[in-house]
Structure 1
Amino acid sequence: MKIILTSEVSGLGTAGDVVEVKDGYARNYLLPRGAAIRWTKGGQKDVEQIRRGRKIREIASIEQANDVKAQLEGVTVRLKVRAGTGGRLFGSVTPADIVSAVKAAGGPDVDKRRIELSTPIKSLGSHRISIRLHPEVVANVGLNVDAGK
């Protein structure tokens, strides 16, 4: 099935890319999550609009991505969340929470869709998060989750 990606999908492409995938993967995973739309001739107009929006948000060059990476890795990110006994959180830390914590720590603006969490953060303590700034540049940032609020 031919689809148009509306957001970045790891291992497949970025927003605005037209890709061919298996029918089941598109029907059961990509389309219900809003990560893609079906390709049509009329949908080709949407591709240009998606690409324009991506170009505005994206970091243009590797040098710029490396500058942002240096800024991010130089910042100590602390996040205060509600926690129960034993250090378990009520819910989990979301990418939006991480973006606001980076901003509060004096770091640069980061798009929440760039944050990659391998496993959900559901406990207090120190965690490592990856922020994909460019297809070739990934910033690894330390996140300290403390009880508070």
Structure 2
Amino acid sequence: MRLVLLADVRSLGKRGDLVEVADGYARNYLLPRKLAGEADKGAMAKLDAQAKARERREAQEFADAQALASRLEAAKIAVKAKAGGNGKLFGAVTNSDVAAAITSELSVEIDKHKIELPSQIKALGSYPVEIRLHRNLVAKATVHVQAA
């Protein structure tokens, strides 16, 4: 029996997949638990429409991420921190500090978990930073640490 999965099923596939299963498995397990629905013309048309909408949404998200990446790479991200006379910081610059600096400079919220620092930043200077904006796109920006 051909079915469209309505939820992720470990042994069969993900939501929206078209699967072929035994009649008994479908009637006794998948259909009563509403894990799958019959693959009729209406369900297939709905599945195609959802796939097209998902592709359009992902393409738009990727385009937005590319635009943000170009803004980030061109921007001068300045982080102010307390430092001693020899240029060493009192503490370290963290992902949260970089995210706050991006928010203040570009008015864009970036999740601190998407920012990857090369190592701990404990001195004044410029440091490269990678920001994961999309699963296929990583923006490279430079953070300038200045004395407060």
| Range class of TM-score, shorter chain | 0.5 to 0.7
Q: Which amino acid aligns with 1:144?
A: H
Q: Is 1:139 aligned to 2:139, yes or no? A: yes
User: Does the 8 Å CA contact 2:118/2:128 hold for their aligned counterparts?
Assistant: no
Residue in structure 2 matched with residue 116 of structure 1 by the alignment? 116
**How many residue pairs get matched?**
91
Q: Which blocks of at least 5 consecutive residues in structure 1 are unaligned?
A: 1-17, 19-58
Q: TM-score, normalised by structure 2?
A: 0.57
User: Does the 8 Å CA contact 1:72/1:139 hold for their aligned counterparts?
Assistant: yes
Q: Is 1:95 aligned to 2:99, yes or no? A: no
Deviant stretches of 4+, over 6 Å: none
Alignment of 1:1-20 (within 5 A): none
Alignment of 1:67-78 (within 5 A): 67-78=67-78
Q: CA deviation at 1:113?
A: 0.6
Task: State the distance in 1 between where 2:131 and 2:106 align.
Answer: 16
CA RMSD of aligned residues (A): 1.9
The percent identity for this pair of structures is 35
Q: Deviations over 1:21-54 (max 9, x none)?
A: xxxxxxxxxxxxxxxxxxxxxxxxxxxxxxxxxx
CA 1:107–1:71: 2 relative to 1, 3 Å: farther
User: Does the 8 Å CA contact 2:129/2:140 hold for their aligned counterparts?
Assistant: yes
Residue in structure 1 matched with residue 84 of structure 2 by the alignment? 84
Larger Cα-atom Rg: 2
Q: TM-score, normalised by structure 1?
A: 0.56
Q: Deviations over 1:46-74 (max 9, x none)?
A: xxxxxxxxxxxxx9532221111112112
Q: CA deviation at 1:93?
A: 0.4
Q: Which blocks of at least 5 consecutive residues in structure 2 are unaligned?
A: 1-9, 11-56
Q: Which amino acid aligns with 2:83?
A: A
